[in-house]
Chains A and B, each alone.
Chain A
């Protein structure tokens, strides 16, 4: 059974760096083809893909946010970490992590999401 859970601060101040952790079980990030992605959703708005890390440590980022994002993995801890620099109130959103099985079977399992509010 695959499960994922996001953790991190509920509130960050503008200009600060956000660090979110995705802790998962039921799969290994060392298995060929597997990946973990991050997706966010501002209140009342659409989903937005942020980043993806593959089993072989290859990484992909949303072009519009690439300069602010870093995704890393700790296979031994079954964790994926996303950092986003220079946070702004427009970054207020629910942040999800999700399991990727392959290029064609994307995000079949999702975490519950964590709401991050950016405010001074």
Chain B
């Protein structure tokens, strides 16, 4: 069974920069996995942030960016705001149309 791994939790200071990563048990994550990133706040449905590694939706704040780093998908927040405190999930596309979410990263802004 394919497992997608994220950091369970990260803490960042307001105004700081933090990078969340997303790894696949099958090996290096490439652009062909079309990494998508989502933000979820308590009691709310997830909100899409990034698609296909680095593309932003029209509503995604400029401080969010996506990339590939060291064989993993990455989500970087620059100039973190208090409202960025949330759970973040990555989603990978596997050959044949299977989709797997990561376990989520709880981001604390402190």
A interface residues (Cβ-Cβ under 8 A, vs B): 37, 39, 46-49, 52, 58, 60, 62-64, 96, 103-113
Contacts and interface: CB of A to CB of B under 8 A. Distances in A.
A110 B93 CA distance: 18
A103 B93 contact: yes
Contacts of A62: 98-99
A63 B98 contact: yes
Interface of B: 1, 34, 36, 38, 40, 45-48, 51-52, 55, 57, 89, 91, 93, 96-104
A46 B89 contact: yes
Given A104-B52, A104-B93, A106-B91, A49 B99 contact: yes
Contact of B36 (A52, A58, A106, A110): A106
A118 to B, nearest CB: 21
Contacts of B96: 60
Contacts of B40: 47
Given A47-B40, A47-B46, A62-B98, 18 more contacts: A37-B99, A39-B46, A47-B91, A47-B104, A49-B101, A52-B99, A60-B98, A60-B99, A63-B1, A103-B34, A104-B52, A104-B93, A105-B55, A106-B48, A107-B91, A110-B47, A111-B45, A113-B45
A18 B19 CA distance: 39
Contact of B51 (A58, A64, A106, A113): A106
Contact residues of B: prevailing secondary structure = strand
Contact of B1 (A48, A64, A103, A111): A64
24 contacts: A37-B99, A46-B101, A46-B104, A47-B46, A47-B89, A47-B101, A48-B101, A49-B91, A49-B101, A52-B99, A60-B96, A62-B98, A103-B93, A104-B51, A104-B52, A105-B51, A106-B48, A106-B51, A106-B91, A106-B93, A108-B57, A110-B47, A112-B45, A113-B45
